[in-house]
Amino acid sequence: MSQPLDIHTLAGAYTLDALDDLERASFDRHLAGCPACALEVAELRETVARLTGAATEPPPARLRANVLSEVAGTRQVGPGKAGRPVRARPIRWRVWTAGAVAAGVLAAGAAVTTYLVQDRRVRQAERIQTVLTAPDAVTRTAPARGGGQVSMVLSPARDAAVVVLAGLTAPDSAHAYQLWLIDGGGATSAGVLRAGQADGARYLTGVRGADQFGVTLEPAGGSARPSAPSLATLPLR
């Protein structure tokens, strides 16, 4: 995905935790096969750790007791192969790149949605990334009736889109937002969010044949066809 010549220059931003998760994952893969880069990162980490000396501050006294009591009940992991820090939690994939892409496509300062997708696999994230970085990617945004907004990064060349719902009214546990691709023949379901879910990002394919994208509120689990007019629509052409 990233050009091999370019990836080297990410070492600084990587050390400073200034990459987004997708770039971070691709740099991690690069590091695994590049001992010189791994050494550079180790040295830059030492360098940056010297800077933390500038930020010391005594913590509240209770923190010590809290840490020690939690540690007393925490099992340790074995040495493992890698001698570098291993994160306790799975990487959380943020499609906040969508925000960055949108910011570039729209005028700077436009409201940008971000969304946190937990525990997604790298492949899923990369699929989304192919849309966000497509040369023909365009961004569309519409306010949703009842609040919030629906944004889309659309790549006709890849026949795919990433849809981001942000700040919509939270449905009750018996209802869910459903996504639709609409053409002359009617609406086809493009996925249903979880019941009660008000924010989300979805990867859609088969957008080329459709004229419009729409979102409706449906009974949990979704409907065969929209039971109400769309809360927001976006043109696909």
Partner 1 sequence: VIADGRDGGEQAMPPSPAGPAAVTPDAMLLAAGRGEERAFERLYDLLAPRVYGLARRVVRDPAQAEEVAQEVFVEVWRTAARFDPARGSATAWVSTIAHRRAVDRVRSEQAAADRIRRVAEHATERPYDEVIDETMAGLEHQQVRQCVLMLTGLQREAITLAYYRGYSYREVAELLGVALSTVKARMRDGLIRLRDCLGVSVG
Indicate the residue among 41 and 210 with the shorter CB distance to partner 1. Answer: 41
In the complex, least distance from residue 218 CB atom to partner 1, rounded to whole angstroms: 24
- SS3 labels along the chain: CCCHHHHHHHHHHHHCCCCCHHHHHHHHHHHHCCHHHHHHHHHHHHHHHHHHHHHCCCCCCHHHHHHHHHHHCCCCCCCCCCCCCCCCCCCCEECCHHHHHHHHHCCCCCCCCCCEECCCCHHHHHHHHHHHCCCCCEEEEEECCCCCEEEEEEECCCCEEEEEEECCCCCCCCEEEEEEEEECCEEEEEEECCCCCCCEEEEEECCCCCCEEEEEEEECCCCCCCCCCCCEEEECC
**1 or 63: CB nearest partner 1:** 63
CB-nearer residue toward partner 1: 106 or 122: 106
Token code pair at residue 109: 């300062």
Rounded to the nearest whole angstrom, what is the least distance from the CB of residue 173 to partner 1 in the complex? 21
Nearer to partner 1 among residue 45 and residue 127 (C-beta): 45
User: What Cα–Cα distance (Å) separates residue 203 from each residue in 29, 146, 153, 198?
Assistant: 24, 24, 10, 16
Q: How far is the CB of 100 from partner 1 (least distance, A)?
A: 5
Nearer to partner 1, 200 or 214 (CB): 200
CB of residue 216 to partner 1, shortest distance in Å? 24
97 versus 155: smaller Cβ distance to partner 1: 97
Residues 23 and 142: their CA atoms lie apart, in Å, by: 29
Q: Find the shortest distance in angstroms from Cβ 131 to partner 1.
A: 18
Q: CB of residue 49 vs partner 1: minimum separation in angstroms? A: 4
Binding site for partner 1 (CB under 8 A): 9-13, 15-20, 39, 42-60, 63-64, 66-68, 70-72, 74-80, 82-88, 92, 94, 96, 99-100, 103, 108-109, 111-116, 166, 199
